[in-house]
Amino acid sequence: MAQPRIRHATKEDSQHVADLMVRLKRLNSEFDPLFMVVEDARERALDYVSASLDSPKVLLLVATQEAKVTGFLRAEIRERVFYKPHLEGHITDMYVLPEFRRKQLGHDILERCSSELAKMGAEIISADLPSRNEIGVHFYMKRGYRRLTETLTHLPQ
């Protein structure tokens, strides 16, 4: 089997990335009912991917294997108005198809992301994921990430 390749996403990848984006959001829904996925998630994902491809502040990477998109990562540059370092690369979405997990692919995507975000000026990198996704949290912590902020959520009665 050919080695996976990690590259910038293109418009030709949009459908595949949208599929994986919906899979990611459905995975998130397993952790908390407040991540319940909307019915038109696929259409929204396509719009979201398209907007991401057009934005100079967004990094969209795909992993491919024999022309199949096996994973993706989306990150964006954010300004930290009151803090130093000033520019933050924030990973909003990352997903690897089950069959390609446990093969270092997630690690390789994250490594590539780090170097690309550095080129975009990011001095620190953060990641966003459901707090109950212990496997995801472990994935980042194993690679030197630590908890910095807590997002507290309330559903008014």
Partner 1 sequence: MSSGAPLDPESEKALAYSKFYGGKVGTAPKVPVRSLQDFSVWYTPGVAAVSLAVQADPELSFEYTGRWNTVAVVSDGSRVLGLGNIGPEGSLPVMEGKALIYNYLGGVNAFALPIRVDGAEQLISVVKAMEPSLGGVNLEDIESPKCFEVLDRLRAEMSIPVWHDDQQGTAGVSLAALYGALELTERTIEGTRIVLFGSGAANIATARLLMEAGADPRKVVMVDKKGILYPERDDIDQLFVKNRWKYDLALKTNGDRLKGGLADALKGSDALIAAAGVGPNLVKKEEVAGMNRRSIAFFMANPVPEMLPSDALAAGVEVVATGRSDYPNQVNNSLLFPAIFRGALDVRARTITDSMVIAAAKELARHAKDKGLSAQHILPTMEEWEVYPQVASAVGDTAVREGQARKSVTKDELLHTAMEMIGRARKTMDALRSGGVIVEPPE
Site residues (vs partner 1, CB under 8 A):
23, 26-27, 30-31, 97-99, 101, 135
Report the distance separating Cα 142 and Cα 157, nearest Å. 38
Closer by beta carbon to partner 1, 16 or else 117: 16
Q: In the structure encoding, which two tokens stand for residue 143, read together?
A: 């690679």
DSSP result, 101-142:
TTSSHHHHHHHHHHHHHHHTT-SEEEE---TT-HHHHHHHHT
Longest pairwise C-alpha distance within the chain: 53
Closer by beta carbon to partner 1, 90 or else 101: 101
User: Rounded to the nearest whole angstrom, what is the least distance from the CB of residue 26 to partner 1 in the complex?
Assistant: 6
Closer by beta carbon to partner 1, 11 or else 26: 26
End-to-end, the C-alpha distance of the chain in Å comes to 53
Which DSSP category does 72 fall into?
A: E
User: Rounded to the nearest whole angstrom, what is the least distance from the CB of residue 99 to partner 1 in the complex?
Assistant: 4
Closer by beta carbon to partner 1, 27 or else 124: 27
User: Rounded to the nearest whole angstrom, what is the least distance from the CB of residue 134 to partner 1 in the complex?
Assistant: 10
User: Rounded to the nearest whole angstrom, what is the least distance from the CB of residue 5 to partner 1 in the complex?
Assistant: 19
